[in-house]
Structure 1
């Protein structure tokens, strides 16, 4: 059963020596399973390349008299990260002790039996009440706690305050997609989204559907027999938003190939009124470094609502730390997983690298309060807590690819036909009747 979540920190956690300056870069060369020069067990921790210096320091501080943690780098691309780990675990590799996982890959790895579940008091510590709900939703599979949330990511609505004021929008209150598209169109501005044929497009579509009270698929633990939900009122509401943007003057010229990076430029472009843009938390540090005197004109608000009166469901991303099922040191690895996801570790990742905590209490840490505006921290925390995860399915890759195939390009989306066509195609893909 899923562990009961209770408030409080895990007992016996180490206090990490994680300062915001002078981080030490360590070696990331491959280490085979076995012992180090001191006779300690070696735990290999496979990480995505984000925040390498901070992660190296976390690994050093979480090493004990019984084991040392050695950092091993995975490729930059999330799909390649998944492929490398999957190959190791399919071969029952005993040297894969700890691994960083994108939340969308957790169900696949757990369903394959590649993750060692946390049980008892340890499961309670991994998912106590301090863990924000959006992050907690992606940490379990079939009522078992299979990964420990480390950092979380979400999207908010970024905008020029002067643009919103000119458009007459009160950004202290929830706004809808329809409102910001109209406001941008009427004022020579744009709306930035991620609409290339890639995972970012699925992220947008999933948030639109969930914001309308629906899901792409449900009963995902049934695997290929999951219930396909996209042909629904929520699916049509999502299609209406996309169609409205495509048909408006607010659509960027490169809409069909837009991504997280391409939409950044128009915000403070010369002779431009700016943009309304949905994007991940990194956008603040990007503009802090590039906007200069115009930074004071940067505003932020909760992700737009798909349907007026319905609360939006912002996207959720981040990193979960799992323990390999074939590790020769599973007990040590799970103890280490608690340490590398501790509040101290999460504070260091946020302050040093802009990777935001999955634990609510860390948003009150002094380091974060000094590094970010208080109201922005509150928005990030609220958005992660209220986020809507992408389908938690062992067949997520097929689901995402099938949706991208039928909803791209955005100019082809029709509320009357696209949701039905995508449901039929996804059903055929999962049923093995059609290929991607």
Structure 2
């Protein structure tokens, strides 16, 4: 993070120095001057490194082994990054800022496309090489910036509402129904009501964005260039969360929850409702069996809107083996491997037809709801300064949710809009 000033030129200098310092601290980075690393088009072939978030399900290596057996001269090595997205981004950005060719294929969060493209860290790809028409349309949009394809969708994601079927007769469609049911359950049973991810990090940005969307608003324009936040709708969204904390159907400890903490709280039977990604479904079913089900996130007046998540695969501009990287991405995002992404990794695939496969639906009953949620989801802004905007959103909302906060939701929403507009103006 760097200091925001009102002078664009100074901002650019500060940003460059900040990222350069991070690059010097990145372990194992090799610079362009030391080992080449300038963009070479998509003509180079040879061994490559696939840098992506830590594989917690051990499904990746068998997929890599299949490639390596068929391509002994172009073997791929897995380089696991930290599990937390913010830390992944910092490590990849530091490496690429140093013009290192250590990474070839990059597993990128869907919100990083514009930043990495703007900085010249990844190369544009030829659309005709990939079966984009077979993918879920909103997912493809996350890989496009300024009318160019910069990455290939690999996994998708949308937030779901988990609930206990033994406590809930009919899942809530609106916030009012969620509140009413959560209050009733907490009074009748020794269990908390509802939680999402409310710690001050990217997860809170996602949760708040979903609340704003589910109230009929939007924080930023799709390209991230304009603040479209309606303070009145943002205040409604914030009030929904503050009311839950005030009335105790959202437990105060949820203010420290990330995905893992909220997952454990639900599957251990401490929550009646929880907002989480699809990866939480399997462990919850193992622990709670048929007592678990999912539905779309509720909204102000009906089903709400999730923020679109997932990861895309891009090629480093400093890779010496970009052609191999391209062919590896074609292999890795094939229908056969996307099926394995779901069946062996439990990650939502990007191929549309997999969500309609009867055998897969029998094994993963949440697929129809997830498909509906993805199609109704809204992507987080694709702007190059998304990371700074996200930091401001998360920190502002976290402060407003604290029990000791005396600011009204209206004041917080107005202040947040002004701060976001200042960041857009100075970038």
Pair 248,416 (structure 1): closer, same or farther in 2 beyond 3 Å: same
Structure 2 residue aligned with 1:279, among 276, 281, 298?
A: 276
Distance change in 2, residues 1:371/1:177 (3 Å): same
What is the CA–CA distance in structure 1 between the aligned matches of 2:49 and 2:268, rounded to whole Å? 45
Listed as ranges, the matches of 1:332-411 within 5 Å are: 332-364=324-356, 368-369=360-361, 371-373=363-365, 376-409=366-399, 410-411=401-402
| 2:203 alignment partner in structure 1 | 200
- Within the candidate set 421, 424, 427, 1:427 is matched to 421
Judged with a 3 Å threshold, the aligned counterparts in structure 2 of structure 1 residues 30 and 258 are, in CA distance, closer, same or farther, namely closer
Conservation of the 8 A alpha-carbon contact between 1:114 and 1:325? yes
- Tell me which of 156, 164, 167 is aligned to 2:168: 164
Moved more, 136-145 or 187-196: 187-196
Deviations 1:179-217 (CA, angstroms, capped at 9, x unpaired): 201221133251112111111111101111122332212
Aligned to 1:308: 301
Contact kept, 8 Å, 2:217 with 2:230, in 1: the verdict is no
TM-superposition CA deviations, 1:31-65 (whole Å, max 9, x none)? 9999xxxxx71122112112574322222323444
Mapped to 1, the partners of 2:358 and 2:29 lie a distance apart of: 36
Does the C-alpha gap of structure 1 residues 104 and 263 become closer, same or farther in structure 2, counting only changes over 3 Å? same
Name structure 2 gaps, 5 residues minimum: 1-27, 38-44, 187-191
Higher helix share: 2
Task: State whether residues 104 and 390 of structure 1, in contact with CA within 8 Å, keep that contact through their aligned partners in structure 2.
Answer: yes
- Residue 178 of structure 1 contacts residue 244 of structure 1 at CA under 8 Å; is this kept in 2? no
In the TM superposition, residue 400 of structure 1 has moved relative to its aligned partner by 0.8
Deviation at 1:380, TM superposition (A): 1.6
**Tell me, which stretches of 5 or more residues in structure 1 are unaligned?**
1-28, 35-39
Q: Conserved in 1, the CA contact under 8 Å of 2:185 and 2:272?
A: no
- Name the counterpart of 2:183: 185
In the other structure, the counterpart of 1:60 is: 65
The 1-side partners of 2:61 and 2:29 are apart by: 14
Note the C-alpha offset of 1:427. 2.7
For the Cα contact (< 8 Å) 2:194–2:250, is it kept in 1? yes
Listed as ranges, the matches of 1:195-274 within 5 Å are 195-218=198-221, 220=223, 226-265=225-264, 267=266, 274=271
**Partner residue, 1:135:** 139
> Matches of 1:180 and 1:254 in 2, distance apart?
19
| Separation in structure 2 between the aligned mates of residue 175 and residue 42 of structure 1, nearest angstrom | 50
Alignment of 1:11-160 (within 5 A): 41-50=46-55, 53-63=58-68, 64-65=70-71, 67-122=74-129, 125-128=130-133, 130-160=134-164
The answer for the alignment partner of 1:9 in structure 2 is: none
- C-alpha spacing 1:355/1:419, structure 2 compared with 1 (3 Å): same
Deviation for aligned residue 1:356: 1.4
Structure-2 separation of matches of 1:162 and 1:74? 39
Q: For 2:253 and 2:58, how far apart are their aligned partners in 1?
A: 35
TM-score (norm 1): 0.79
What is the distance in 1 between the residues matched to 2:218 and 2:423?
18
2:290 aligned residue? 296
The equivalent residue for 2:173 is: 175
**C-alpha offsets along residues 131-165 of structure 1, whole Å, 9 cap, x if unaligned?**
11332221111111111111122211111123222
In the alignment, is the contact (CA less than 8 A) between 1:54 and 1:352 conserved in 2? yes
| Structure 2 Cα separation of the partners of residues 367 and 177 of structure 1 | 33
Q: Distance in 2 between matches of 1:264 and 1:75?
A: 19
- Look up the SS of the partner of 1:56 in the other structure: helix
Separation of aligned partners in 1, 2:376 and 2:52: 27
